[in-house]
Every structure is written in C-alpha cells, then in structure tokens.
Chain A
C-alpha cells in the first residue's frame, strides 16, 4: 500500500492567497484526521472525519479554514485568506476500526509570507 499521500509537500504563498492542501487516505480506512504542527503549539487536531462525515471541527482555528471529504479517497483543507501565522506543517492521517492506530502522511510544509 502507498500509505497516506499528501500534496503539495511544500507550499510558499503570500498573505491573502488561498491555499488548498490535499490528502488521499489509505484505501479501506474510514477515519481521516487533519493536524497542524508548530514548535510553539505542538501537534493540534484541526478536524476529523468518520465515513466522510465531519465529526469534530472544534480545532479549526477560524472561519478562514475549511475542510471537505467528498469521498472516501480524498480530502482537502483550505485556508482562505492565508496569514503568516498559518505557517506550519499540516499532517493528514487515516485509521480504520478500533482500536485506532493512525497512519500519518509526510505532511505539507506551508510558509505564508
């Protein structure tokens, strides 16, 4: 299996621009998680889906962030408009069943100038 796939791996953009991060979970996994990691705040859960349905989005920082999972094999995290404080590494992870072991993608390193 290819593992969790994320794209792009690196993104540099200017403040105010829209950023879209993409994730393909492992085939057969029914839960998908978006995390953000910074030195200051550590690993933060932004949102997670179960069977394509958002279960908990309480970690989404503000209305500038949105996430979708149109089908079991694809999810997006969008930031619009982006701000310098959004600079971080964004991870996608997927899991199946219980107990849940999460499989992480390689991450997208985002820099907002």
Chain B
C-alpha cells in the first residue's frame, strides 16, 4: 500500500533554479528517506531524516520534516541538468517490520539546460 504521496507529480525548471518536492504520509514513522531514480536505473538513496529531526542538509539537498503535519519536503538548490530524474520519498513506519519501506509514486523532475 502507498504511504507517501509526492507532490507535484511532475516538475520542469531551468538549470540554476531551485526545485522543491513535497511528500505527505499517513502514519507515525521512524524515519523518512528520499531516493532518486534516473531513467532505466535502480533507485539511489539520497538522504534520511529521523522522526525527531526537523531539517537535514547534504550538499545541495535540504530536507525538512514536519511530523505534526505528516509531511516532508526535498529542496534541490541550484539545479543542474544532471538532476533530471524521478524522486521518491519512503517511510519506515513506527511499529512496522524493521527495514520495510513504503514508497510513494514519485515526482518526475526535468531540469532544462
């Protein structure tokens, strides 16, 4: 069953602009993760934020988590053409089986040079 719902489904921006993707979920979580998938490839882990954290940075990535609203956002700053990919949020649910992640349907990001 789907837990995370990403918004928007698709996003098109110019190189250099910032890209913001949102994820909403339904149940209590242990952590929330963001993954990237380039066309024709497997998913690649980007960043993990625990339920007791509110913000996390990794290079040009910034993730926020609001557990009261059950939502997260992924910000990619100064986007590049190479950032073109689909981005998925995934939740490890509180009380769920260890290691099992529930993935959303993804946001398709297109960065135009």
Contact = CB atoms under 8 A, between A and B. Distances in A.
B102 to A, nearest CB: 8
Contacts of A102: 35, 43, 45, 90, 99, 101
Contacts of A101: 33, 45, 48
Interface string A81-113: 000000000010101001111111111000000
A4 B43 CA distance: 12
Contacts of A75: none
A77 interface: no
B105 interface: yes
**Dominant secondary structure at the A interface:** strand
B10 to A, nearest CB: 13
B50 interface: yes
Nearest to A59: B1
A43 B99 contact: no
B87 to A, nearest CB: 12
B8 to A, nearest CB: 15
Contacts of B101: 100, 102
A20 to B, nearest CB: 19
A98 B98 contact: yes
